[in-house]
Every structure is written in structure tokens, then in C-alpha cells.
């Protein structure tokens, strides 16, 4: 028996839409990462990008469980001495909810060139509106 390896001609990409309303951030990110990676398809090949385009709507309504809103911090560093900046997730979810979802998904994808290519297929919107109606996206329900 031979191992199947997908070719570029075998890959068909669909547009999928995921509603983040009331869904825990981690569960949302792991499911979206699976869809971007193509693990839900029978032609999945680890070294190729076989995944679909994913549109996440209502990112501002995704929830963080427990005390993560107040206690969890996001850090960034300017590269200079004393250049560490910290911001809590309550502020981040209020000001940049799309960033929070994108970073959560980014952390669950491969950390290489392949993962960066997969991340380009992710479109995140804070509200229910998106400009991808012409792609006829299919709705994916998340089991919460």
C-alpha cells in the first residue's frame, strides 16, 4: 500500500464562515486552525497547504472563560532595553478583537513558511458583516 500525497491539482478550496458569537476563544481557534490546515479533508497532507479559506465573524463576541479577561496579558517588546509593553485581554478584546482571534489561530498553526501561507487564508471581522458574499461561503457550526 502506498502513502497518498496530495498534488496541487487535487486541492479544491472552499470558503467557510464561522460565527464566533459566544464561543470560547481556544475552541474557536483550534477548529479554525484545523479548517485552515485542511485536516478535515481526506486528502490532508502535512507538508502541503490543503485547507480552505475561513471567514470568522463576530470576533468581538468570542468569550474568554474564567478570569482570563482581567488576568491574561499580551506582551510585546520593542527590542530596546525596557521596551516591554503589556496589555490585558479585556482592553485588547474591546479595542482589537480581530487581533486576539488572529493571534490565537496563529499560535495553533505551524511556525514556518507553510503556517504563514495558511494564515493568509484567514479573514477575521469584528461584526457580522464581511465583504466575501460573492465567494458564497458555507456556514460551519462549532460544537461547543
Closest to 105 measured CA to CA, from 44, 28, 18? 28
Q: If we measure between CA atoms, which residue out of 101, 123, 124 comes closest to residue 26?
A: 101
DSSP symbol at 122: E
pLDDT of residue 143: 78
Q: Among 129, 74, 132, which residue's Cα sits nearest to residue 103?
A: 74
Structural domains in the chain? 14-64+94-140 (3.90.1180.10)
**Cα 27 off chain centre by:** 10
pLDDT tens-digit readout, 31-81: 999 999 999 999 999 999 999 999 999 999 999 999 999 999 999 999 999
| DSSP-derived secondary structure letter, 56 | E
Partnered with residue 74 across adjacent β-strands are 87
The SS3 assignment for 8 reads: helix
pLDDT in tens, 78-128: 999 999 999 999 999 999 999 999 999 999 999 999 999 999 999 999 999
Band of pLDDT at residue 1, cut at 50, 70 and 90: confident
The pLDDT of residue 144 is 67
Which stretch of DSSP H or E encloses residue 117? helix 113-119
pTM above 0.85, yes or no: yes
Whether 21 has a pLDDT exceeding 90, the answer reads yes
Q: For residues 102 and 115, what is the distance between their CA atoms, to the nearest angstrom?
A: 13
Amino acid at each position: 500500500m502506498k502513502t497518498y500525497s496530495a498534488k496541487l491539482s487535487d486541492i479544491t478550496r472552499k470558503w467557510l464562515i464561522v460565527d464566533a458569537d459566544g464561543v470560547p476563544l481556544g475552541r474557536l481557534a483550534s477548529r479554525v486552525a484545523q479548517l485552515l490546515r485542511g485536516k478535515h479533508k481526506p486528502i490532508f497532507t502535512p507538508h502541503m497547504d490543503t485547507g480552505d479559506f475561513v471567514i470568522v465573524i463576530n470576533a468581538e463576541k468570542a468569550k474568554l472563560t474564567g478570569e482570563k479577561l482581567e488576568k491574561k496579558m499580551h506582551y510585546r517588546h520593542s527590542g530596546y532595553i525596557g521596551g516591554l509593553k503589556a496589555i490585558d485581554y479585556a482592553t485588547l478584546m474591546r479595542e482589537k478583537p480581530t487581533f486576539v482571534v488572529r493571534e490565537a489561530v496563529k499560535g495553533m498553526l505551524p511556525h514556518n513558511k507553510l503556517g504563514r501561507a495558511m494564515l493568509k487564508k484567514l479573514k477575521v471581522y469584528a461584526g457580522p458583516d464581511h465583504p466575501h458574499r460573492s465567494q458564497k461561503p458555507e456556514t460551519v457550526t462549532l460544537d461547543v
